[in-house]
Amino acid sequence: MANKKTSIGGQALIEGIMMRGPKKTAMAVRNVKTREIILEEYPTKGQERAKFFKLPFIRGIFNMIDSLSFGYKCLMRSADLSGIEEEEDAKKKDKGPSAWDKLFEKLMMPIATVLAVALALGLFVYLPMQLWKWITAGNPAVAQNYYLRAAFEGVLRILLFVGYVWATSLMSDIRRTYMYHGAEHKTIFCYEAGLPLTVENVRPQSRFHPRCGTSFMVLMLIVGIIVSMFIRVDNLLLRTGLKLLTFPIVVGVGYELIKLAGRRDDVFTRIISAPGKWLQHITTREPDDDMIECAIAAMEKVIPGDGTDAW
């Protein structure tokens, strides 16, 4: 079983980890008061989809939607299981929620979602295009160089993304989540090495894994540069619309590349994995043993006995 390549992946949560296997998904969260690990299991989503939606370059967008929606649910659930919010909830119960509090809670999530989407579009899509227009004003020869424009916009998006990731790493709560992220990677590496899943075996493993959401995001940004070279319109609103329409293509190609990086270890996969693994120096940190125990507990629940976790 040495050097086994697995399709099992995961996500860092609040005081815990979610592991997603081919048949089962499990989350292990440590309660901050009792220090016990709370486990929950679910069937892995997406297995019931028709074969068409599992085809290469098509499956990526559907898997991404599943991962984001289910990952968000696990994140919210981990906040409950960790016990971090119990004291705040107890205070609310003592005072009794007002009608305004109830209305605010109902409206806050959709409003926050809309604002987040608007901010992402403005910052990562519209801003780079507008900056290019300002910089090249008065120089139509440069402005019409679509290859240079795509490179400028793409590199700026990558820099904005790296800056955002770095800024979040300054927050103590996020740093702790990044430690759980490191525990997730180390545990998967330990399993792929064919070693027993123990804290002692997991601890020395690398925390930089080629098949990671961070690497996936970076790959999508790089693929987006290439796709943007074929969008040859100058109107900013039309260009924004076309970029949104090509988003499934970017996701599909990025997903296939990240799967390839998980299956193979050669010069090509090392090159495409390098930017994401570099960024993992920020998005992962060395975990403590309690975090590794959570990762092992979740991992053990999703390993199938029939070998269907292999690529």
- DSSP string for 218-247: HHHHHHHHHHHTT-----HHHHHHHHHHTH
pLDDT computed for residue 169 by the predictor: 93
- What's CA 45's distance to the chain center, in Å? 17
What is the overall mean pLDDT for the chain? Answer: 88
Q: pTM for this structure?
A: 0.86
**CA-wise closest residue to 92 among 82, 105, 79, 81:** 105
**pLDDT per residue over 12-65, tens digit each?**
999 999 999 989 999 999 999 999 999 999 999 877 778 888 888 899 899 898
Q: In the structure, what pLDDT confidence band is assigned to residue 100 with cuts at 50, 70 and 90?
A: low
pLDDT computed for residue 92 by the predictor: 53
pLDDT at 104 over 60: no
Domain parsing of the chain, residue ranges: 9-84+110-302
* Cβ(284)–Cβ(208) below 8 Å: yes
For residues 246 and 233, give the distance between their C-alpha atoms in angstroms, rounded to a whole number: 14
pLDDT computed for residue 49 by the predictor: 77
Reading the block at residue 165, the tokens are 């990731």
pLDDT computed for residue 144 by the predictor: 87
For residues 154 and 124, give the distance between their C-alpha atoms in angstroms, rounded to a whole number: 9
**CA-wise closest residue to 10 among 20, 1, 25, 2:** 20
CA distances for 141 relative to 47, 229, 230, angstroms? 51, 16, 17
* Cβ(78)–Cβ(14) below 8 Å: yes
Reading the block at residue 138, the tokens are 């008065």
- Which amino acid is present at 69? S
- Which amino acid is present at 146? Y
For residues 178 and 221, give the distance between their C-alpha atoms in angstroms, rounded to a whole number: 21
**pLDDT per residue over 136-193, tens digit each?**
988 888 988 999 999 999 999 999 999 999 999 999 889 999 999 999 999 999 999 9
pLDDT computed for residue 234 by the predictor: 85
**pLDDT per residue over 178-232, tens digit each?**
999 999 999 999 999 999 999 999 999 999 999 999 999 999 999 999 999 999 8
pLDDT computed for residue 1 by the predictor: 44
**pLDDT per residue over 249-264, tens digit each?**
999 999 999 999 988 8
pLDDT computed for residue 109 by the predictor: 60
How many Cβ atoms sit within 10 Å of the Cβ of residue 104? 12
3-state helix, strand, coil in the chain (%, to 5): 65, 10, 25
Sign of the dihedral through C-alpha 226, 232, 235, 240: negative
Burial label, 138 (beta-carbon count in 10 A; 0-12, 13-18, 19+):
exposed
* Cβ(197)–Cβ(190) below 8 Å: yes
69-73, 117-121, 203-207, 249-253: which has the minimum mean pLDDT? 117-121
Reading the block at residue 204, the tokens are 């020395």
- Which amino acid is present at 187? T
pLDDT computed for residue 121 by the predictor: 79
**CA-wise closest residue to 279 among 215, 233, 216:** 215
pLDDT computed for residue 262 by the predictor: 86
pLDDT computed for residue 154 by the predictor: 94
